[in-house]
Structure 1
Amino acid sequence: MSHDSHLPTAGFFRRIGALLYDACLILALEIIAAGLIIAILGALASTELIQYGQYQDASGFLTHHPLWSPIFTAYLAIVWISFFVWFWTRTGQTLGMKAWRLIVRNEDGSPLTVTQSLIRLFTSGFGVSNLTVPFDPQKRGFHDIWAKSQVYVLPKTGSQKPL
């Protein structure tokens, strides 16, 4: 794929808009993911296939049990990580990025790999790395520098399909 230098790079405020949009989506997704596990545990407890022991309910069991609490936390982290890796490697756009007409690509214009997506996510500091955008000549966040990626603004007219 050709280099996408003809597209403008995304500035700070547009990135923050997409970040806030995605934060709301992630929150909803995490609530659904946690609710699914709590519903399953509730069903198992009501049929007496499991017992919460010293814990009052499924929530206490999942947040305080020495074994299940870290497993539950890892499960929620996997849901969160998968959201970004899935969208960045498939289309280059999360739903928030799509709403703000942003796309993330390699510096050569090709889609991100799983490794690049993980580097980008783990160096993002939950979005704090965007603070470097106003100071970088190429308008890259710290996470984009590390992942060798760039965020572009798609045009208003025409197709918004990945490049």
Structure 2
Amino acid sequence: MPHVHPSLLRRLAAIFYDALLLFSVLFFASFPLLFLTGGQAIEHNPLYTLYLFAISFLYFAWPWVKSGQTLGMKAWRIALQSMDGGKVTWRQAALRFFAALLSWLPLGLGFLWSLWDREGLAWHDRLSGTRLVLLG
């Protein structure tokens, strides 16, 4: 039975949901660092940027590998899988994460591409060998 891919609107709704949750996670992850800086803002610190980037990567990659769904994806009944229908590997999760960042750069063209792709795949789906499926 062929899989049913989620609409672009459903994808974007899940991304928005995850963005709100990620913002909260990053806020609370940054809070303890105020004790290290004596309450001063952390500005233009490459280590801090790397720290936030690593947390962002783990927010998405961990659930993709473990269950195929972030919280936003669960709310919108979307699952991520390998093209063969199996679980996503850490390599695929990393490729997907970085490729998704690139998909946003040209005005979201990498995401819009799913509207014209015959399989409903975005750039980062193709580059990582993954696909989103709509759950019953």
Q: What's the TM-score once normalised by structure 1's chain length?
A: 0.76
The corresponding residue for 2:84 is 108
1:79-122 CA-partner distances (Å, limit 9, x unpaired): 00111110100000000000000000001111111110111010
The corresponding residue for 1:144 is 125
Within 1, Cα distance between the matches of 2:62 and 2:22?
A: 13
The corresponding residue for 1:15 is 11
Task: For 1:45-124, list aligned pairs within 5 A.
Answer: 45=38, 57-59=39-41, 62-64=42-44, 69-124=45-100
Q: Give the C-alpha shift of residue 37 in structure 1.
A: 1.4
Give me the CA root mean square deviation: 1.5
Q: What's the TM-score once normalised by structure 2's chain length?
A: 0.90
Q: What code does the residue aligned with 1:98 have?
A: K
Deviating 4+ runs (over 2 angstroms): 125-129
User: Contact 1:105–1:111 (CA<8 Å) still a contact in 2?
Assistant: yes
Within 1, Cα distance between the matches of 2:125 and 2:6?
A: 12
Within 2, Cα distance between the matches of 1:151 and 1:98?
A: 12
5+ residue gaps in structure 1?
Answer: 46-56, 156-163
Larger radius of gyration: 1
User: Contact 1:89–1:112 (CA<8 Å) still a contact in 2?
Assistant: yes
5+ residue gaps in structure 2?
Answer: none
| SS of 2:87 mapped into structure 1 | coil
Within 2, Cα distance between the matches of 1:118 and 1:76?
A: 16
How many residue pairs match? The answer is: 131
| SS of 2:59 mapped into structure 1 | helix
Within 2, Cα distance between the matches of 1:76 and 1:58?
A: 17
1:104-147 CA-partner distances (Å, limit 9, x unpaired): 00011111111101110101126532111101000001000001
Q: What code does the residue aligned with 1:123 have?
A: A
| Match among 97, 111, 115 for residue 134 of structure 1 | 115
